[in-house]
Homo-oligomer: A and B are copies of this chain.
Amino acid sequence: MALRYREISSRDNPRLKALRALAEDARARRREQASLIDGVHLLEAALDAGWPVRQLMLAAEAREKAEIATLLERLSRELDVDCLVLPGSLFKLVSPVATPVGILAEIALPPVMPATGTEDVLALAGVQDAGNLGSLLRSAAAAGVKRIWLDKGCVDPWSPKALRAGMGAQFVLALEDDCLLDSRLREDARSVRVTSLGADSVSLFSLDLRAAQIWVFGAEGRGVPAELIALADSRVRIPMPGKVESLNVAAAAAVCLFEQVRQREC
């Protein structure tokens, strides 16, 4: 195992151009089945999860930083890939963050683990904010919910921003995108729970959540589409004693998924 260092000095370098497309363009990520992760924490999470790293990029100036030097030692023990070394000015062109720490990796997207049909599912309809989507995935991964269904209206979960907000959650989840949620919910025997403020909704705290659940959450603002609400076994209301009667979608999902954790622990 070793890193093969390659100096790059031209902004017209084709590998650099391909990496820039991965940073900016969801179609390029899908075509190449790859994405970019930036920074020490995410790279460590990828290594811990045994994620396939295709190549590395390093800002020449960052090589001496202590945390990067330590990470490079680990990378050279565990990987056998090229490490492109770029001047900071070129590195910034590829990096998806405003103040990059100086190391990036191209990762391969995983094949999706086969479904068991008896596991918990988090189903998301039209979540368009990458920060919210990342937070949702992070809460699911922490709560032990491993399978995620995303409909066509959701933002790309492999975008650098969603990866950053997910803090490594994407590496341990089975993410299925472009899902037709209505046909999936119609065919499924598991309990389907949809948050809703409708008059016929029941309190989250009155539900028995010990068996496998499919949780459906909707877009910021618009909520879950009516046709999906109609397919739910329960329309669920989080009791809100305060003067504000709505939650951020990622906060609402965290409350529901950890009520499920509580019931299974207690």
Contact = CB atoms under 8 A, between A and B. Distances in A.
Interface in A123-168: 131, 135, 138-146, 165, 167-168
A224 interface: no
B251 A239 contact: no
Interface in A202-260: 203, 205, 238-248, 250-255, 258-259
Contacts of A168: 244
Interface in A19-41: none
B205 A246 contact: no
Given A242-B141, A254-B255, A248 B172 contact: no
A12 interface: no
Given A131-B131, A242-B172, A254 B261 contact: no
A169 interface: yes
A200 interface: no
A15 interface: no
Nearest to A262: B205
A121 to B, nearest CB: 14
A138 B248 contact: yes
A266 interface: yes
- Which of A244, A254, A266 has the largest number of chain B CB atoms within 10 A? A244
A265 B139 contact: no
Given A205-B266, A254-B255, A255-B255, A261 B247 contact: no
Interface of A: 49, 131, 135, 138-146, 165, 167-169, 172, 203, 205, 238-248, 250-255, 258-259, 261-262, 264-266
9 contacts: A135-B250, A138-B248, A138-B251, A143-B242, A145-B242, A168-B244, A172-B242, A172-B243, A255-B258
